[in-house]
């Protein structure tokens, strides 16, 4: 495993469950914010970035998202 791969995995904490891959537009829709607010929002959500898409820890996702996906 290369150093860049190791650093990517260091950001994933054991036990965290993540959302499906989402674009900035999808994140804006789920959190009911404008697309321009997403970069600021992402600073607080501890996302895992994979290219131009993100996975958000489920503990930060809105309840409506969790219900819709059968997680609660």
Write down the pLDDT at residue 72: 82
Check if the beta carbon of residue 54 is closer than 8 Å to that of residue 42.
yes
- pLDDT score for 41: 95
User: pLDDT at position 26, please?
Assistant: 96
User: How confident is the chain (72 residues) per 10-residue block, as mean pLDDT?
Assistant: 50 72 95 94 93 93 89 82
Q: pTM, whole model, 2 decimals?
A: 0.72
Distances from the Cα of 7 to the Cα of 2, 12, 30, 46, angstroms: 9, 9, 28, 14
Contact 21, 54 (CB under 8 A): yes
Which two structure tokens, joined as six digits, stand for 53? 């898409």
Helical spans, DSSP H, in the chain: 3-10, 24-31, 38-45, 63-68
Task: List the chain domain ranges.
Answer: 3-68
């Amino acid at each position: 495993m290369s150093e860049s791969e190791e650093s990517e995995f260091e950001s994933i904490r054991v036990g965290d469950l993540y959302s499906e891959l989402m674009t900035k537009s999808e994140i804006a829709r789920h959190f009911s914010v404008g697309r321009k607010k997403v970069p600021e929002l992402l600073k607080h959500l501890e996302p895992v970035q994979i290219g131009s898409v993100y996975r958000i820890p489920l503990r930060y996702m809105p309840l409506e998202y969790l219900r819709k996906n059968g997680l609660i």
